[in-house]
Structure 1
Amino acid sequence: MTVTDPSGAARAEGAGTAERRELLKVTGLVKHFPIRKGLLQKQVAAVQAVDGLDFTVREGETLSLVGESGCGKSTTGRLITRLEEPTAGKIEFEDRDITHLKDGPMRPLRRDIQMIFQDPYSSLNPRHTVGKIVSAPFHLQDVKPEGGVKKAVQDLLELVGLNPEHYNRYPHEFSGGQRQRIGIARTLALKPRLIVADEPVSALDVSIQAQVVNLLEDLQDELNLTYVMIAHDLSVVRHVSDRVAVMYLGKIVEIADRDPLYERPMHPYTVALMSAVPIPDTKRRHERERIRLQGDVPSPINPPPACRFHTRCWKAQDICKTQEPPLVELAPRHQVACHFPENAPAGTSDTPSGDVPPADPGSR
């Protein structure tokens, strides 16, 4: 797929991301939610929602976080936007450490880092008009747009495909897709540079999802936005992403450019995820084996030791239960955390060829 830049020159989607300036850098990010019991509320355990993430996001690109429900995607998004306080690790925005910034110093940065929430029904105050909802960022940041607040809000509504005359209407008068457009307009009010989109289309009808996805892509090209997209629909992710990070139980197990990840996934968990992506062509469906993982996702309160996926992995051996695999680059811009990766270049596996017996499809 190609898109056309303002100069009219066609560029490959995702091309040149390696040369762009680094906007966000996350190092060793951890978030544990304490579990307390008793009269004194003593901590007895912790939910290890995010447990040591490392990734970067370059200016103008879209990095998507994917994985099963409960793997820590949304928590990661809330940590990046500083809606949650990290337990450990480091978050840098434009080389500035924002990990533990207090509300005062963080307030100006709210203009540059914004979030699109998953549910367009609960994220809009039903008692406020559209004008009041979209203009809230101007008032909170004491920004006086040229031409007045009302004119700026109407321009934003028009930008996201709504009628400027909707200014005085209430959220209940709109459909789900229109409400999400209102939320996007509010997000764009302060001209942010980084937007964390937490499953922005999952609550919408399928017929509306494509419209919102295309709107986000058009806005990215027009306003030079950078996205961290949180999603579970792998078809949508393939359409919008430059790079994809796969999460499992609080950790990134694979991160790579979009096309290499979809065409040659290396981590067994990613292979299983990709096998579940629907194929529109009925003639090609029989060509791919559907991998069904056995067992449930372990509890984040007491995750398995070493490789957290070894309890469900058909390639697991003793080393997977005792040594945690590091996230290493096995191909250009393709990092994997696995002792026995699939589709890996020759010589990159931790075990000699032939030491791993072929997997029985029925055991997957």
Structure 2
Amino acid sequence: MSDKDEAMTTSETAAGATDTLAARPEGETLLRVSGLKKHFPVTKGLFKRQVGAVLAVDGLDFDVRAGETLGVVGESGCGKSTMGRLITRLLEPTAGTIEFQGKDITHLGTGDMRPLRRDVQMIFQDPYSSLNPRHTVGAIVGAPFRLQGVRPEGGVKQEVQRLLSVVGLSPEHYNRYPHEFSGGQRQRIGIARALALNPKLVVADEPVSALDVSIQAQVVNLLDDLQAELGLTYVIIAHDLSVIRHVSDRIAVMYLGKVVELTDRQSLYNKPMHPYTRALLSAVPVPDPRRKAAQGRDRILLQGDVPSPMNPPSGCRFHTRCWKATEVCAKKEPPLVALETGHQVACHHPENAADQEPGDTKLLTDLPPQATAEEPTPTTTKN
């Protein structure tokens, strides 16, 4: 069984989902992000003097086409969730631009953003903390209609009950409270609320990370079915590479506030170009021991912790943990460039491709200790 099939209930369902993804037409650009940054100030003392800043998101460039799913993966603390809150304008960006349907929404105020809330919605990571425990399901899912002044045909109650049916819940759940539901059912309530106003873009922040594996498959399949039925566009943030492989058309890999690789799903899993992406994929478990032995895949163990976003390394931010790092990696930040059709990578020495800096071949690990700051060498072990 493949990694992708792990997220599916049956192999037939997986095959059908693959056909759906392959058949999706390439739409026009719905969302465009350029140079997006978010720096959180760090203050100290009685007068709250700023002594630094957390560079949570530090220069993102990507776009999302109508009807597609963009998956975003990376280690904890790399800025994935902050990015999601920025593009939905739940946080104010420090710099950069966000364009939605060709309109600059980077610094729109609350009043100007209100009409756009119908088109951009978010599914939050924790399905319980994002639901008000004092409100019934009917009040929670019906809140977008009240806030936007929308009166659906047949009334709010009838529309809410229809939405509950769409996400696999019973209309009789209308008068129940969140604590009466399981984790998977609460996530479905959050999905129903996000879909209430027929949005064009849905940002899902770790939509299945808090759920059991069996429930994860149900919610993932639900998101896929809703996209096919309603023509939704997704930005799905996750750390589970199996889930991302199933739901995504294109995948962006983030490291320490930056996108280091962006390409279609098939290219990323079959031919990763950034060393960090290769290390992430090496950690994906293979459930079939015979297949694992046939692949002979080595597990890449990165030494050391992720550097602090308050003081990121110079040059390439991954060079302190990279086994291919050379002198140029410590001095010059690699740009995110297209090395192949549709395949973008920010690396001076990418995998399976010609180096951006072909003349620099001296590894940092080969330099004298005084010439570099303790550059750990990763080891490899067999899975």
Change (3 A) 1:295 1:354: closer
Change (3 A) 1:277 1:314: same
Kept in 1: contact 2:300–2:380 (CA 8 A) = no
1:236 correspondence with 2:219: no
Matching residue of 2:5: none
Letter in structure 2 aligned against 1:362: T
Kept in 2: contact 1:177–1:208 (CA 8 A) = yes
1:175 correspondence with 2:192: no
d(CA) in 2 for partners of 1:121 and 1:12?
31
1:309 correspondence with 2:326: no
Kept in 2: contact 1:14–1:241 (CA 8 A) = no
Matching residue of 1:261: 268
Matching residue of 1:283: 290
Compute the RMSD of aligned alpha carbons. Answer: 2.0
Matching residue of 2:142: 135
Change (3 A) 1:32 1:353: closer
Kept in 2: contact 1:2–1:13 (CA 8 A) = no
1:57 correspondence with 2:74: no
* 1:100 corresponds to which of 94, 107, 127: 107
d(CA) in 2 for partners of 1:20 and 1:257?
15
d(CA) in 2 for partners of 1:254 and 1:134?
37
TM-superposed deviation, 1:42: 1.4
Segment drifting more, 254-263 vs 354-363: 354-363
TM-superposed deviation, 1:358: 12
Matching residue of 1:362: 379
Matching residue of 2:21: 13
d(CA) in 2 for partners of 1:204 and 1:237?
15
d(CA) in 1 for partners of 2:351 and 2:81?
28
| Structure 1 SS opposite 2:300 | coil
Kept in 2: contact 1:314–1:363 (CA 8 A) = no
d(CA) in 1 for partners of 2:232 and 2:71?
14
**Structure 2 counterparts to residues 96-175 of structure 1, below 5 A:** 96-175=103-182
Letter in structure 1 aligned against 2:32: K
| Structure 2 runs not aligned, ≥5 long | 1-13, 367-376
Change (3 A) 1:152 1:140: same
| Structure 1 runs not aligned, ≥5 long | 5-9
Kept in 2: contact 1:66–1:245 (CA 8 A) = yes
TM-superposed deviation, 1:14: 4.2
TM-superposed deviation, 1:234: 0.2
Change (3 A) 1:15 1:28: farther
TM-superposed deviation, 1:323: 0.3
Q: Sequence identity of aligned pairs in percent? A: 70
TM-superposed deviation, 1:283: 1.1
TM-superposed deviation, 1:303: 0.5
Kept in 2: contact 1:330–1:348 (CA 8 A) = no
TM-superposed deviation, 1:315: 0.4
d(CA) in 1 for partners of 2:137 and 2:78?
34
Matching residue of 1:7: none
What is the CA deviation profile of residues 211-257 of structure 1, one whole-angstrom value per residue up to 9, with x for unaligned ones? 00000000000000000000000000000000000000000000000
Runs of 4+ in 1 over 2 A off after TM superposition: 1-4, 14-17, 347-350, 352-364
TM-superposed deviation, 1:351: 1.6
- TM-score, length of structure 1 as denominator length: 0.94
- TM-score, length of structure 2 as denominator length: 0.89
Kept in 2: contact 1:294–1:363 (CA 8 A) = no
Kept in 2: contact 1:32–1:46 (CA 8 A) = yes
Q: Figure out how many residues of one structure are paired with residues of the other and give that number.
A: 356
